[in-house]
Amino acid sequence: ASGRMEKGIGCDINPHALEKGKKATENYVQSGGTAEISFQYAATMAEWPAAQQFDVVSLIDVLHHVPPKIQANFCTTCDQTR
């Protein structure tokens, strides 16, 4: 573990992806990782963790699901949620 992250939240619409993340976290902790990592189901941005600020937001395997006409607005909205 690098020790650079203190806390993380994983959000996904896919319960299988959340379970994989939880399993990876178990492995991380068993290998000495100390960051507090949690996972939560979120199908819409309205379901994202409320009243929290993030240093980094990573949208992996997301943008290609957003219609091209609204991708710019989607990215702006994500940026404004901090």
Helix (H, G, I), strand (E, B) or coil at 53: coil
Helix (H, G, I), strand (E, B) or coil at 7: strand
Instruction: Pick the closest to residue 44 from 8, 7, 4, 81 (CA basis).
Output: 81
Is residue 1 over pLDDT 50?
A: no
29-65 tens-digit pLDDT: 888 888 889 999 988 877 877 767 777 777 778 888 8
Helix (H, G, I), strand (E, B) or coil at 20: helix
Q: What percentage of residues in the chain have a pLDDT greater than 90?
A: 20
pTM above 0.75, yes or no: no
